[in-house]
Amino acid sequence: MTSTKEPIAGRGTCPGEACGNVPSGRATPAPGGALRRPAELQRNIDVSGLVDEKGGLLDRAVFTDEQLYRQELRRVFAPSWLFLAHADQFHKPGDFFTTHMGEDPVIVTMTKNREIKAYLNSCRHRGARVCRADFGQTRNFTCTYHGWAYDLDGALVSVPNEGGYPESFRRDDWGLVEVPHVESYHGLIFGTWNPDPVSLRESLGDMAWYLDAMLDHDPEGTVAFGGVHKWVLEGNWKLAAEQFATDWYHVNMSHASALMVLSPTGRGPKDEIIHREGRQYVDPNGHGAGFPVHPKNRFDADTVHEWMDYAALRSRLGDARVEGPLTTGHATVFPNFSYLPVNGSIRVWHPKGPNRMEVWAWTIVDRSMPEEVREAQRLYNLRTFGPSGIFEQDDGENWSECQAIAHGFITNGVALNYQMGLGSEREDGRYPGTTSELYSDAAGRSFYARWRTLMNTPAWHEEQP
Amino acid sequence: MTISTGIRVAALDDVAEGEGIAISKAITGTADNIAILRDEDGSVWALDDTCTHETASLADGWVEDGHVECPLHSSKFCLKSGEVQGLPATKNTCPHRVELRDSDIWLFPNETP
């Protein structure tokens, strides 16, 4: 599959009032009959007072409160573009990958028409998952509970003892619930439950310029190399997403031991590594990216560094990107997709309740890289930011530490400080959009401002039919 | 059992190992379509195409180790005899004789292998 900015799946339709509030694809009018969900099940909290982005303050309840968490699933995750998979995971019809959108399990697959589609991984009969594998190749998705079976287009194609249902039963009414919009950007596939979203490209805004520094080294694009690492961390998902958006500040302290180990002399990194200048991109939709800026910025893994044609990269991407977000740095696409360009790590922070997340991490490499360069990048990523990586371990420990104590009554009421770089946001003429200093909380403030906006905005599924 | 004449239904290369193709009953003259199934050892077999449990094409199933597994509910049938080897199906399916001539597959509908 070549990289594309165009939609890669048709727009789902929602035929008439029968679809109620459930997102539905072509095959799924989702009969609700007399069911009416009482509003008391979905009480919403006004979160205006929990985020003070002008003062740089955050209330710790955003990390701990169960009711806020349920509201996040409804109002932050359900309407947002969420990362699903890399296009390279699908080569033939029937190739599938199972993941989550928020806490909703979904199947991503290639149909017989070679479209990428995504479905809620839940049988319409009793609700079990219809695909239990992490990834693979299939002809159908068959529920192992009673045997309802769905084809690659999500249509219900087999119901054992179908004669036992009333005459009004129509298979067409009971297809898998389809994710209504699936689009890709340079090989990254995203989906949203929002029936009427802005396009993925539009939602990325200027963030796309920064993403391209990792995804668009040459016309061949990227591939996912090796498997998907998955691990569980104690900690709210926002702690990780926020850090990847806005936090270079922790590097020298949290990762001191790793930096010592990696320094060629063994006496620690040079002063110019410790005291870095750089920029932080602050996106109005809550995305963020920070990166040191230096003419000699390079890829860390020697084999990768030696293979890279920096002159060609300067010609394709421009000096500002090669000297900035091409290599060392961090980034988050709101809400829960993050990446590290220097080692090709892309990851999703899957929410698992207010206190826990699952990290799912891929290594992506340039398709044009020879095998030994790919392998060098994979190993470098594994060593630094794999599940037991020397940097990753530091980060996970911090998030779990912050979460573990945050439920204390007094603790929870003590505001957190996000004031670094207050007022520093500006257009610098070199890096697109609004940027701040490398050491700044600006993208974090913007992340939580976006979170507050979504939390206070009724989503499409709350509209009365 | 009627003895039929053979029909050239496919080139051997048309059927990948571990997979199958369905031949329409309009061609075979049988009550059901016939699945041409190629085991992973390269051998070729033929069975009535429709699973005896629910409506599913065995030609879309997985072929390995002397059996075909239905793509819908995982019932298994012996490639050689059509005998059911795994639930939820409980009825055997009907085998047909095939012959390889050069690199072509010839089907003899309703002839016992």
Residue A120 CA to residue A337 CA, distance in Å, equals 20
pLDDT tens digits along A235-271? 999 999 999 999 999 998 888 888 888 887 777 777 7
Answer whether A149 sits within 8 Å of B72, measured CB to CB: yes
Residues of A in contact with B54 (CB under 8 A): 147, 158, 160
- Is the pLDDT at A98 greater than 70? The verdict is yes
Residue B23 is assigned to a structural domain of this protein: yes
Residue B1 is assigned to a structural domain of this protein: no
pLDDT recorded at residue A228: 97
Residues of B in contact with A160 (CB under 8 A): 53-54, 73, 88
pLDDT recorded at residue A27: 42
Q: Which residue of B has its CA nearest to A137?
A: B62
Q: Residue A347: which of A80, A103, A86 has the closest Cα?
A: A86
pLDDT recorded at residue A252: 87
Residues of B in contact with A140 (CB under 8 A): 71-72
Residue A370 CA to residue A426 CA, distance in Å, equals 41
Residue A3 CA to residue A451 CA, distance in Å, equals 30
Homologous superfamily of the A82-196 domain (CATH): Rieske [2Fe-2S] iron-sulphur domain (2.102.10.10)
Across residues A122-127, what is the average pLDDT? 97
Residues of B in contact with A96 (CB under 8 A): none
- Is the pLDDT at A400 greater than 70? The verdict is yes
pLDDT recorded at residue B4: 61
At residue A119, the 3 state secondary structure works out as strand
Q: What is the pTM of this model?
A: 0.89
Q: Which of A140, A148, A151 has the most B C-beta neighbours within 10 Å, making it the best mutation to test the interface with B?
A: A140
> In the structure encoding, which two tokens stand for residue A301, read together?
């893994």
Q: Are A294 and A451 in contact (CB under 8 A)?
A: no
pLDDT tens digits along A59-86? 999 999 999 999 999 999 999 999 999 9
Q: Which residue of A has its CA nearest to B51?
A: A158
Answer whether B71 sits within 8 Å of A139, measured CB to CB: yes
At residue A163, the 3 state secondary structure works out as helix
Residue A98 CA to residue A84 CA, distance in Å, equals 9
Answer whether B54 sits within 8 Å of A160, measured CB to CB: yes
pLDDT recorded at residue B81: 95
What is residue A196's DSSP assignment?
Answer: S
Q: Residue A227: which of A381, A133, A363 has the closest Cα?
A: A363
Those residues whose C-beta lies under 8 Å from the C-beta of residue A127, and which sit 6 or more positions away, are none
- What are residue B102's phi and psi, to 5 degrees? 55, -120
Report domain extents, chain A.
82-196, 206-460
pLDDT tens digits along A15-52? 333 333 444 444 445 677 888 888 888 899 999 999 99
- The strand pairing partners of A83, in sequence order, are A190
How many Cα atoms occupy the beta-carbon half-sphere of A27 within 13 Å? 21
The distance of A142 to chain B (nearest Cα, Å) reads 6
Q: Are A316 and A280 in contact (CB under 8 A)?
A: no
> In the structure encoding, which two tokens stand for residue A329, read together?
């740095």
Give the CATH number of domain A206-460; options: 3.30.565.10, 3.90.380.10, 1.10.3720.10, 1.10.10.1150: 3.90.380.10
* Percentage of the residues of chain A whose pLDDT score is greater than 90: 85
Residue B2 is assigned to a structural domain of this protein: no
Q: Which residue has the tokens 């009554």?
A: A409
Confidence check on the interface: ipTM exceeds 0.85, yes or no: no
Lowest mean pLDDT among A103-117, A146-160, A252-266, B35-49: A252-266
Residue B75 is assigned to a structural domain of this protein: yes
Lowest mean pLDDT among A156-160, A180-184, A427-431, B1-5: B1-5
- Is the pLDDT at A413 greater than 60? The verdict is yes
Residue A154 CA to residue A401 CA, distance in Å, equals 43
pLDDT tens digits along B22-71? 999 999 989 999 999 999 999 999 999 999 999 999 999 999 999 999 99
Residue B69 is assigned to a structural domain of this protein: yes
Give the CATH number for residue B100: 2.102.10.10
Residue B50 is assigned to a structural domain of this protein: yes
Domain of B71, in residue numbers: 7-108
Total domains, chain B: 1
Residue B113 is assigned to a structural domain of this protein: no
Q: Residue A346: which of A385, A390, A380, A402 has the closest Cα?
A: A385
Element (H, E) at A302: helix A302-307
- The strand pairing partners of B96, in sequence order, are B46
Residue B99 is assigned to a structural domain of this protein: yes
| Gyration radius of chain B over CA positions | 13
Determine the residue type at B49: D
